[in-house]
């Protein structure tokens, strides 16, 4: 598997994918499937081009929540509410086990309308770091192999793997995120940026071997920006209005909020500058942020 070693881990440049028929592919099976997204590059003033109602068969995709390792390991879950929601609603196997990459990619297109560049941020490293697997379990998105690739420090509402439980929701961290709302009703991009800076500082202080390179930053920041893409709807901040109650429901119930709308077209990836290097902290040590009194650091 060709790769380029940068810093403390490898950035994958291409992968060889085994198929169930014994043949191999030079790229992941979803790589040439562009889905149904209209290409759109957001700007700070125009982050989402449109919204439409999210429609799906609620009888088929009924809500059935499970926690990781529930019923003696029968169910597996990820450190990501978006992936867990797909399992809780049956868009991917409800057990969270033996999921094909094609199934995951198509479910992300259908439910969240993620562009393939966004989907591949997670699935390409997952495939490369779990070689010779045509299927994956949701808890493998948090195992040792994917640290600093798709499971990162400074997640909004999960602890770092080095610090504690990095799969299950940490309600203290979620309360901290919600507290950054300046109006008590919505979360702006500025609110989330300020919360990220807090999580960056907390993670740095609690880690014995701190690392926050490009892959970490992409992973951590995508968790905030994808909240806007998934949950943002019409409101006081335009199409990217993110309501506190929607965020709380998405994280705690790991379900689709009733008011959820479907965003149209989204692209978040940018090439890394040529002088950037993974493995170093690419963010400043100190950052300004606001937090309401009574929140726990």
Q: For the segment 34-79, what is each residue's pLDDT rounded down to a tens digit? A: 333 344 555 666 555 566 777 889 999 999 999 999 998 899 999 9
Task: Please state, for a pLDDT cut of 90, what percent of the chain lies above it.
Answer: 45
Q: How far is CA 121 from the centre of its chain?
A: 9
The DSSP element (H or E) to which 202 belongs, if any, is: helix 189-206
Q: What tokens appear for 198 in the block?
A: 């807090």
In our burial notation (b when 16+ CB lie closer than 10 A, e otherwise), range 212-224 reads: bbbbbbbbbbbbb
Strands 24-25 and 51-53: unpaired
For residue 274, the 8-state DSSP code is: T
Predicted confidence (pLDDT) per residue in 88-125, tens digit: 999 999 999 999 999 999 998 888 877 777 788 889 89
* Predicted model pTM: 0.76
Choice among 10-19, 70-79, 169-178, 220-229 with the minimum mean pLDDT = 10-19
């Amino acid at each position: 598997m060709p790769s380029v070693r940068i810093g403390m881990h490898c950035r994958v440049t291409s992968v060889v994918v085994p198929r169930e028929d014994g043949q191999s592919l030079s790229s992941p099976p979803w790589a040439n499937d562009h889905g149904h997204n209209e290409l759109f590059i957001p700007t700070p003033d125009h982050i989402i081009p449109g919204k439409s109602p999210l429609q799906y068969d609620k009888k088929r995709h009924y809500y059935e929540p499970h926690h990781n390792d529930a019923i003696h390991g029968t169910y597996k879950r990820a450190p990501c509410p978006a992936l867990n929601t797909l399992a809780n609603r049956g868009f991917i196997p409800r057990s969270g086990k033996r999921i094909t990459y094609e199934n995951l990619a198509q479910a992300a297109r259908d439910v969240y309308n993620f562009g393939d560049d966004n989907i591949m941020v997670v699935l390409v490293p997952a495939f490369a770091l779990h070689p010779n697997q045509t299927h994956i379990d949701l808890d493998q998105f948090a195992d040792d192999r994917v640290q600093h690739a798709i499971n990162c420090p400074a997640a909004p509402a999960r602890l770092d793997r080095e610090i504690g439980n990095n799969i299950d929701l940490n309600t203290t961290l979620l309360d901290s995120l919600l507290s950054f709302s300046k109006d008590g009703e919505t979360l702006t991009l500025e609110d989330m940026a300020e919360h990220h800076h807090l999580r960056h500082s907390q993670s740095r202080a609690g880690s014995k071997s701190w690392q926050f390179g490009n892959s970490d930053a992409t992973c951590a920041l995508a968790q905030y920006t994808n909240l806007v893409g998934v949950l943002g709807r019409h409101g006081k901040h335009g199409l990217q209005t993110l309501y506190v109650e929607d965020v709380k429901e998405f994280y705690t119930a790991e379900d689709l909020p009733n008011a959820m709308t479907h965003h149209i077209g989204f692209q978040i990836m940018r090439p890394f500058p040529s002088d950037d290097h993974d493995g170093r902290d690419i963010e400043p040590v100190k950052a300004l942020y606001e937090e309401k009194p009574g929140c726990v650091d």
